[in-house]
Amino acid sequence: MLRKILGFVAAFVVVNVVVIVGFLGGAIVLGSERVLEPGGYDASLLWLFVSSLIGLVGASCGGVACQAISRDRRVAGVLAAVMFLFGAAAFFAGAGAPEPPPRPEGETGFAAIKAAAEHGREPLSTRVLNPLLAVAGVLAGASIVARQQGARRD
């Protein structure tokens, strides 16, 4: 039982670390000019793609960690369900977000990204896609490890 709890907690930490580091790295590499639409706080299409990919990679890493530690696919299923519930909560939390104000002229870099975190809003497509990508990533990552674990037992 302890192995299952540890697998879940470790996987949750892995997902969050990978996503946070990925977002920070992506924002640094792309810069505010490519992360945000010009003159506003809406995310660019490039950033929506990159951030979805980062989320999928983070969820997959979490699935790998969960299965490797817990050795039980049901734990990965619980992790996937929890990730979906968090995504659903974010979906509803972002539903009533007001229209962001225009971005001040000359605001770039981390000041613009920090302001985007405060004023920006996630598009509906992203709010729908993120929980689904989280579930798919966790289950795919866990499945890869589970197949290898099964092959070792044979």
pLDDT of residue 87: 93
The span from the CA of 46 to the CA of 5, in Å, is 37
Locate the domains of the chain by residue range.
Answer: 2-153
Tokens at 53, concatenated: 């990919």
The span from the CA of 22 to the CA of 40, in Å, is 23
Measure the N-to-C terminal CA separation of the chain; round to a whole number of Å.
24
What distance lies between CA 35 and its chain's CA centroid? 16
pLDDT of residue 152: 66
Please list, in sequence order, all residues whose beta carbon lies within 8 angstroms of the beta carbon of residue 11, skipping any fewer than 6 positions away. 62, 63, 65, 66, 69, 76, 79, 138
The span from the CA of 45 to the CA of 42, in Å, is 9
pLDDT of residue 151: 62
Per-block average pLDDT, block size 10, for the chain (154 residues)? 95 97 94 87 92 97 97 96 95 80 79 80 89 97 92 58
Tokens at 138, concatenated: 């966790």
pLDDT of residue 68: 97
Q: CA 119 → CA 47, 59, 103, 112, 143, distances in Å?
A: 16, 26, 9, 10, 38
